[in-house]
Chain A
Amino acid sequence: SQQGEEDPQALSIQEGENATMNCSYKTSINNLQWYRQNSGRGLVHLILIRSNEREKHSGRLRVTLDTSKKSSSLLITASRAADTASYFCATPKPHQAGTALIFGKGTTLSVSS
C-alpha cells in the first residue's frame, strides 16, 4: 500500500509567510526524506531525518518526525517566490534489498510576491 501521503495537496501563500506540509506513512521506517521538484525538473533532495530523530533543521527548513503517529512535517520559514515547487516526502521501500523510495503524492506550493 502507498506510503507517504502529503497534505495539503496544494498551498498558496505570500512571500515571507511560513509554509507547512505534512506527510503520513504506514509502515515502520528507519528514515524519511523530503524532496523538492521544480516545474519540469528532476527531484532534489532537501533533508533526511532518521527514525531516532524528532526534529532537524537545514537553513530555512525544519522537519519533524513523529514515529508514534507515523507522520512528518516540513516547515519552510520566510518563504520566497523561488520556493514555488512540489514537495514530496519519501520513505525507503520496506523489505527490499535495494534502497528504492516510496514517494507521496506531493504538495504543490505556490509563493507569490
Chain B
Amino acid sequence: DTAVSQTPKYLVTQMGNDKSIKCEQNLGHDTMYWYKQDSKKFLKIMFSYNNKELIINETVPNRFSPKSPDKAHLNLHINSLELGDSAVYFCASSQVRGVAKNIQYFGAGTRLSVL
C-alpha cells in the first residue's frame, strides 16, 4: 500500500486551462502539505492543512486553491495555468504531535507541464 499517493503522475496541458491534482494518505496523519519543486530542484512549501483547516499559505497566487474534504485528502486545483506553473508538485503528510511530528512522508510527485 502506498502511504501517500498522488494522481496524476504526469499532467500536460495548455496555458489558460484549469487542472486538479489529488492526494491521499493512509497513514492516519492530521497534517498535509503541498510543495512545489522547480527545474533546479528547489522545493518550497505552498500550503499546509491540519485536520482539514488551512494553516499555512505561502503567498501562493490565488489561482491555486487547495481543498481538504477530510484529513486523509488534500487536493490542489489550479486555475488559468501559466507557463511558470510548470514544476513537480509534491504532497506530503506528517503527524501533529509526538516524537515523529516533524518527519514528513512524500508522494511520488505530479510533473506538470504547461505548454
Q: Spell out A's residues near B (CB within 8 Å).
A: 31, 33, 37, 40-45, 48, 86, 88, 92-93, 96-103, 105-106, 108
Give the distance in Å from the alpha carbon of A92 to the alpha carbon of B104 in the complex: 11
Q: Spell out B's residues near A (CB within 8 Å).
A: 4, 31, 33, 35, 40-45, 48, 50, 55-56, 58, 90, 92, 94, 101-109
Mostly, the B contact residues are strand
Q: A33-B103, A99-B101, A100-B56 are in contact. List 7 more A-B contacts (CB 8 A).
A: A33-B102, A42-B106, A45-B104, A48-B102, A97-B56, A99-B94, A103-B35
Across the interface, which residues of A come within 8 angstroms of B103, CB to CB?
Answer: 33, 45, 48
Give the total number of A-B pairs whose CB atoms are below 8 A apart.
67
Across the interface, which residues of B come within 8 angstroms of A98, CB to CB?
Answer: 31, 33, 48, 50, 55-56
Give the distance in Å from the alpha carbon of A42 to the alpha carbon of B109 in the complex: 6
Cβ-closest 6 pairs across A and B: A42-B106, A98-B48, A100-B45, A103-B43, A43-B106, A98-B55
